[in-house]
Chain A
């Protein structure tokens, strides 16, 4: 018996069996995913006309109308969030990569490790906590109400770690010779960063920003409790609104317009695919250089 179990033939058989299991696992995984995405895309796109993009939702809970105002809200929210989060996140990453190790002061070194701990913790916080926090601080305490600005500030908490991490990676991949060259020519550290390092890290930073755009577009929980859900086209930072993702939720839960929900979901999926393609082409360009 033992001899059989040790025989090469049996071991080969066992390998084929294991490989079969692995092939099956991968096939099943991919099949499930293709089914979910395919189902939403196929059911969704059969319902999409040009009108769907150019008209706003209407008729209260009837689920009529298109998604125009939700596109506007999504764009508005993405723009405000990115405008706030990018400088903060890039600044943080620049400090952590370019300055932290050159400062000898023990107090600053402590701050740096605290800052790193902050980034790691923030990256693990579930989004509903950002929503709860945003509701308590921005919506209620700061009296911003359910508004784009309140939602964007809560959204910033979500994407800041994304921007910081991708920017850090991008900065680390800039060769040290660039830094040395610039510094030896008499440029200060900040000049080196601004004129040499940031430009060469730009594709990486862009990737981080696009990833953040994706996170905001996909996020629902935060905006469910901070954005108010009005389907009117927003006119200012203080307007309440409804993003496309939130619209999917409201359509499915409140109106039974499942086909409209699928259509909106399909648009979202298409958008995410597009963002992914952009990231891929940016990083291809990056590795080609």
Chain B
């Protein structure tokens, strides 16, 4: 009896599974920076398209690129430029830049330092400057927070800020922008980097070379740390996926981009 019940349940579940596969689902995976943006695009898109569901998962930029190609997702998100090695490995990929994003250097709100030169920022993250006293602050050790390897935000940050230097081994590593924001806002004396879309009043964004980390400064080119947010498809998109990408680049889609603190591309 128990087995018969169980079997029935399994059949019902399996039937449910089949049914939903035939429904119009767009699977999106990859970068946690693009994730909230993709979720908001999805919510707006679903409102105008009955029966379509946009399912957004995290992962990371490298996974985004890979899952677009291996079919795990219809769209792969990457919060950095696609690498040459990736173009070589997957020649069919098409890159759609849906927004641009600044990376802000952020500290715990109680850190008394408000601005750094690019050089100083590099020295802090490389572990050459270890105390806030070297920057006019109190004599307290700096806790460096960074993202794990494979993160697009980390790759873009290394490209634009670290140059040839490496992020120090003692850095606390966290698996997403959200986790970095949580840790930076709750750990005294710490410094980290964060996508513009995640800035809020519980972390302090630091000016770099005297330029405030704002969307205006990023779009007029004065803020130095800006990278593209890409959605990647395997070949030219078709059907609902094409419509979704069109929506992302439409006036409505770009309005969402600006609302969320990113930089519009149209």
- Bound-state CA distance A149–B39 (Å) is 23
Within 8 A of B (CB), among A54-103: 60-61, 76, 79-80, 82-83, 86-87
Closest chain-A Cβ to B187's Cβ sits at a distance in Å of 12
Report if B27 contacts A (CB, 8 A).
yes
Binds A, one of B140-148, B173-181, B218-226: B173-181
Binds A, one of B2-10, B76-84, B117-125, B234-242: B2-10
- Bound-state CA distance A254–B32 (Å) is 11
Q: Which residue of B lies closest to A209 (CB)?
A: B2
Interface size class of A (residues with CB under 8 A): 20 to 34
* Chain B residues with CB under 8 A of A87: 3, 6
Chain A 231-251 interface mask (CB, 8 Å, partner B; 1/0):
010011111100000000010
Interface size class of B (residues with CB under 8 A): 35 or more
In the complex, the answer to whether A228 meets B186 with C-beta atoms within 8 Å is no
Closest chain-B Cβ to A131's Cβ sits at a distance in Å of 14
Report if A203 contacts B (CB, 8 A).
no
Query: Given A83-B10, A145-B72, do A254 and B179 touch, yes or no (CB 8 Å)?
Result: yes
In the complex, the answer to whether B56 meets A238 with C-beta atoms within 8 Å is no
Report if A253 contacts B (CB, 8 A).
yes
In the complex, the answer to whether A236 meets B176 with C-beta atoms within 8 Å is no
Closest chain-A Cβ to B70's Cβ sits at a distance in Å of 8
Report if B19 contacts A (CB, 8 A).
yes
Chain B 194-225 interface mask (CB, 8 Å, partner A; 1/0):
00001000100000000000000000000000
Q: Which residue of A lies closest to B40 (CB)?
A: A60
Report if B136 contacts A (CB, 8 A).
no
Query: Given A237-B14, A237-B17, do A86 and B6 touch, yes or no (CB 8 Å)?
Result: yes
Report if A230 contacts B (CB, 8 A).
yes
* Chain A residues with CB under 8 A of B72: 139-140, 143, 145-146
In the complex, the answer to whether A79 meets B14 with C-beta atoms within 8 Å is no
User: CB within 8 A of A145: which of B6, B18, B27?
Assistant: B27
Within 8 A of A (CB), among B1-50: 3, 6, 9-10, 13-14, 16-21, 23, 27, 29, 35-36, 39-40
Closest chain-B Cβ to A221's Cβ sits at a distance in Å of 13
Instruction: Show 5 residue pairs from A and B whose CB-CB distance is below 8 angstroms, ordered by the A residue.
Output: A80-B13, A83-B9, A140-B70, A238-B21, A255-B182
